[in-house]
Amino acid sequence: MRIVPAVDIRGGKCVNLVQGDYDKETVFSDDPFEQAQIWWDELQEGIIHIVDLDGAKSGQCEILPFLERLGKAGIPYEVGGGIRTVDTIDKIISVGAERVIIGTGMIKNPELLQTATSKWEGKIAVAIDAKNGKIALEGWTQETTLSAIEIAQKAQEEGASRVIYTDILSDGMMKGPNFVATQVIAQSLRIPVTMSGGVSSLDDIMQAKLLQPHGVDEIIVGRALYLKKFTIMEAKQILDSE
């Protein structure tokens, strides 16, 4: 199991939101590239999770020059937010993305995921962002009645390499992830699941590790790292232990 540090970008700065609320923003760095470099220097393996918060609202990638800098620096990354066309995916992969995360785009344009997974096999993940088991869209600003499990299974059927599951009510709250919901999603799939939202302590990391047999092999961590609740090295020591 791997820890995946998060770099969320809004207005050119590295930020963190609470439950996806754009009005509840904390700025942690004025230089997202520098922050990504710091995380990568500590991580040294795996991947960095990049979120384009402006793109999630506008529906197009707003951070392409930043992504190009990451690629040139040799920092492996995945990116989500505003990725709703094949052309956008093509541009992002061309500047070095290891994975591209489709969320809203899959719902609004059902053919997008199928086309993307055929063209870039193994590089397309799907974000399942849910509140009380139901999908939220457009940077979490639009709630739906769509079942998170059903959409996750559809993503698997159409060739997604993994699902990134975020429990919105846990995100940014520093009260622990929704382990039960994450396990339910993972057990419904054959592809691996990345858990996201609410990790606040090393105890959470230890509990998350118990989900590995069910198919959860990555944990995205944002606010807890920025607030120095634990370090990447401390988390890795837990995850790497027998």
Could you report the per-residue pLDDT of 129-185, keeping only the tens digit for each? 888 888 877 656 677 788 999 999 999 999 999 999 988 776 555 678 899 999 999
pLDDT tens digits for 122-132?
999 999 988 88
Residue pLDDT, tens place only, 77-97: 999 998 999 999 999 999 999
The reported pTM is: 0.93
Active site residue 8: yes
Selected catalytic residue, list 8, 52, 171, 204: 8
Q: Which among 52, 54, 129, 167 is annotated as catalytic? A: 129
From 178, 133, 142, select the one nearest 56 (Cα to Cα): 142
pLDDT of residue 124: 98
Which amino acid, one-letter code, is at 52?
D
Q: Which amino acid is at 228?
A: K
Q: What is the pLDDT of residues 18-54, one digit of tens each?
A: 766 778 889 999 999 999 999 999 999 999 999 999 9
Query: Has domain 2-240 been given CATH number 3.20.20.70?
Result: yes
